[in-house]
Structure 1
Amino acid sequence: MHDAHIARLVRAEARRQRETLNLIASENFVSRDVLAALGSPFTNKYAEGYPGARYYGGNCYADELERLCQRRALRLFGLREEEWGVNVQPYSGSPANLAVYLALVPRGGKIMGMRLDMGGHLTHGHHVSATGKFWTPVHYGVKKGTERLCYKTIARLAAEEKPKLIVTGYTAYPRRINFQKFRAIADSVGALLLVDMSHIAGLVAAGVHPSPFPFADVVTTTTHKTLRGPRAALIFAKKELLPKINKAVFPGLQGGPHLNQIAAVAVALHEAGQASFRAYGRRVVRNAAALAAALQKEGWRIVTGGTDTHLLLVDVAARGISGKTAETRLERCGIVANKNTIPYDSRAPADPSGIRMGTASLTTRGMGVREMRTIA
């Protein structure tokens, strides 16, 4: 690289990643093949539109690439092309969710999702997000005491509010989700069911978490967390809903797709279909459980009492430390995690009561249960 300044920053970041223990639940390490695709000549090409219907010439290989990525995405999750379609163009998870709402919920319509401070995401209708400004948010939370979803409470709220769309799938909820119960709740009020599986997509692909596809109308996911791909997103939808969603992605929200990004996603989807990835998924979950148990043994309170997934929440305020302080002190020791609210948090989001940890990255680096106990 001729740009010495950028080259120095790239080397410094690579060194930082090598020399620290990354417990950020939403991060991972991609393969050399994914990086090669991301930096490929597809970076140079404009391809507004969809395969066979582009607004630029020279897209024969772009069409082949996008169709291949679509087939790999459907195959990975065991979906039949007669029933499901997938849009592989979203730049990231937030615009993917926004596209779904734009396509399927009238302006001002009700979207029901998890509260941000209890594990939901900004794009599930939080007031600072466009999703909470253009649509009417209805929020549910978790039960006090258990810190888990209460499906009866959620069903009562849905019956009262009658949302057009219900969102499940979270950013800081460490337990398995009963998608069948959410399907029943959605059907009881005539709502569509959107599952945002961004955090658990790799676990679903590996067969260590129940699949949402038998119950959802639409499934969105990022590709850079447990799926171990580049920063991008996918929107899976029942065939009858896909045309509206495609129009919402392009031309509704985005211009030309990032073909290099789609190429890298295709590589990651292929990797996730291998037996080695299924073994990886099992290790991720095993490591998270081991880390939670070891921290409990050291006297730390784990939100919900443990984890079924790749992530866990630690209530550091229970021992007189704020989340921000814990994050800062850990990073000084070479351990990278993020401050995070916990259910019914009495502290401000900028300095909450908890920290969130995840095991996907360290598992990619080959670490196991023994290392998790050492880290704790």
Structure 2
Amino acid sequence: MSDANSGSLVSSAYNQALEVIASVEPRIADATRQELADQRASLKLIASENYASPAVLLTMGTWLSDKYAEGTIGHRFYAGCQNVDTVEALAAEHARELFGAPYAYVQPHSGIDANLVAYWSILAHRVEGPWLEKVGAKNVNELSDEDWEKLRHEFGSQRLLGMSLDSGGHLTHGFRPNISGKMFHQQQYGTDPETGLLDYDVVRAKAKEFKPLVLVAGYSAYPRRINFAKMREIADEVGATLFVDMAHFAGLVAGKVFTGDENPVPFAHITATTTHKSLRGPRGGLLLAQEEYAPSVDRGCPMVLGGPLSHVMAAKAVALAEARRPEFQTYAQDVADNAQHLAEGFLSRGAKLVTGGTDNHIVLLDVTSFGLTGRQAESALLDAGVVTNRNSVPADPNGAWYTSGIRLGTPALTTRGFGKDEFDRVAELIVHVLQNTQPGTTKAGTPSQASYSLAEGVADKVKDASAEMLDKHPLYPGLELK
């Protein structure tokens, strides 16, 4: 099928869908059209965002949404789930083959849900299972009230060790305001204060002192790779379960950019990911596990999750099938290469990067050298059509709300076809905006962490320069909305 015919089919599909939507609530149809226009006109550099294919997007808009399917394949709590069984089995098959994992669970609705299933699965496997065996019970329903209270205490006194938020970890890695920081007795490891890099000897020493049940590896804003073989060694030394959250870099694992010791799947007891971000699929979660943890993970619904989203599981299957194609490996390598080009573009213009660079898909820019907070930088860039997100840097003096950095990622613009020259130009435009942004003051005349002023004409100049690049790399080429 030619690109023109494909574009014509996609255009027809979306225009007809929007007509149906508009017949009920035209404002939703209008907002949907505007979202495509906005995405086409902006430089999307949010590391956790991407562009799913029309096939993935269309898969979500079907009657599979209408089914309840609690339970697992072939063992549902509702009748009539034979087609959902097919969908879930195909998604799990693609996940196992793509990542080389013995077991895959595709029901989690999001990355946080996937992490929660992982944590409760570890607790069930490591705490509940031995406890039931000790008292001679088959399940928790057979426990006496006294034994149940003792088990509840055991659940609540387990330990978790994860990367701190300002070092690049995620809020679900034991951050106290998050549920993970409340359900575990938690401590966190950081990065070297001078280099910003992970120090495995420090992690090992912390683990030996704290003796966690769960050792969490993975990140949302750490611009380097991790040696998961070393993390597994540390986990084994202290008797911990190694849980890896690869939500951000799963596409680099799937695309064979991260191999050997940098591929977490062979080393982690359980690996969680989202299916969007660098995997370029629908918004959702996914778990990979070693066989010993499969029975516990399979209880994710109804242990933690509500009914599976069958239409999203179908879209996961389509996206994972796309990721198994050879061209996805080329894409993943381009994502990593483009991050290097973006980092080099910043460094050549005197900007400061956390860890001094990147070797994954993330560039973390410290904006304090421009006299700005992350909040001010994020807002000024958005005025100029550059979409980023503010992010903490190690030992951030501005805290987690205003921050001192902005996080940039290359997956989305790489999907559009940006390469070395374009990413160098992107770095130039960002530096130009930040150099021409001044922090504001409060009503009392003190320095503000939020207000700012962007020099006149800068936003329009950057938007015009961006448009030249974006026009050469159209988003969803051939898709024309009425």
TM-score by length of 2: 0.76
Q: Does 1:254 align with 2:305?
A: yes
Inter-partner Cα distance in structure 1 for 2:122 and 2:333 = 35
Q: Secondary structure at the match of 1:153?
A: helix
Partner of 2:50: 28
- Please give the per-residue CA displacement for 1:241-282, whole angstroms capped at 9, x wherever unaligned: 1111221x1111122100000000000000001111110001
Q: Secondary structure at the match of 1:268?
A: helix
- Please give the per-residue CA displacement for 1:55-101, whole angstroms capped at 9, x wherever unaligned: 1111111111111111100000123xxxx211110000111111111
Alignment of 1:322-337 (within 5 A): 322-337=373-388
Pairing partner for 2:414 from 345, 349, 363: 363
Q: What letter matches 1:134 in structure 2? A: M
Inter-partner Cα distance in structure 1 for 2:33 and 2:184 = 43
Inter-partner Cα distance in structure 1 for 2:203 and 2:292 = 27
Alignment of 1:1-376 (within 5 A): 1=21, 2=23, 3-79=25-101, 84-105=102-123, 106-209=155-258, 210-247=262-299, 249-376=300-427
- The percent identity for this pair of structures is 45
How far 1:283 moved relative to its partner?
0.7
Q: What letter matches 2:266 in structure 1? A: P
Name the Cα RMSD after superposition.
Answer: 0.9
Inter-partner Cα distance in structure 2 for 1:213 and 1:287 = 25
How far 1:299 moved relative to its partner?
1.2
Contact 2:265–2:288 (CA<8 Å) still a contact in 1? no
How far 1:120 moved relative to its partner?
0.7
How far 1:293 moved relative to its partner?
0.5
- Please give the per-residue CA displacement for 1:117-165, whole angstroms capped at 9, x wherever unaligned: 1111111111001111111111000001110000000100000000001
How far 1:40 moved relative to its partner?
1.8
Q: Secondary structure at the match of 1:314?
A: strand
Q: Secondary structure at the match of 1:240?
A: helix
TM-score by length of 1: 0.97
How far 1:361 moved relative to its partner?
0.2
- Please give the per-residue CA displacement for 1:5-49, whole angstroms capped at 9, x wherever unaligned: 111111111111110000000000000000111112211111111
Q: Secondary structure at the match of 1:349?
A: helix
Deviates more, 1:101-110 or 1:289-298: 101-110
Q: What letter matches 1:24 in structure 2? A: I
How far 1:369 moved relative to its partner?
0.8
Inter-partner Cα distance in structure 2 for 1:220 and 1:57 = 29
How far 1:319 moved relative to its partner?
2.3
Q: Give the unaligned 5+ runs of structure 2.
A: 1-20, 124-154, 428-482
Inter-partner Cα distance in structure 1 for 2:276 and 2:296 = 26
Inter-partner Cα distance in structure 2 for 1:348 and 1:190 = 34
Inter-partner Cα distance in structure 1 for 2:283 and 2:27 = 24
Q: What letter matches 1:348 in structure 2? A: G
Inter-partner Cα distance in structure 2 for 1:375 and 1:130 = 37
How far 1:211 moved relative to its partner?
1.2
How far 1:108 moved relative to its partner?
2.3
Q: Secondary structure at the match of 2:399?
A: coil
Inter-partner Cα distance in structure 2 for 1:306 and 1:368 = 18
How far 1:343 moved relative to its partner?
0.8
Matched residue count = 371
Inter-partner Cα distance in structure 2 for 1:37 and 1:23 = 26
Contact 2:225–2:360 (CA<8 Å) still a contact in 1? yes
* Larger helix fraction of residues: 2
Inter-partner Cα distance in structure 2 for 1:307 and 1:269 = 26
Inter-partner Cα distance in structure 1 for 2:298 and 2:110 = 15
Contact 2:100–2:265 (CA<8 Å) still a contact in 1? no
How far 1:107 moved relative to its partner?
2.4
Runs of 4+ in structure 1 over 4 Å off:
none
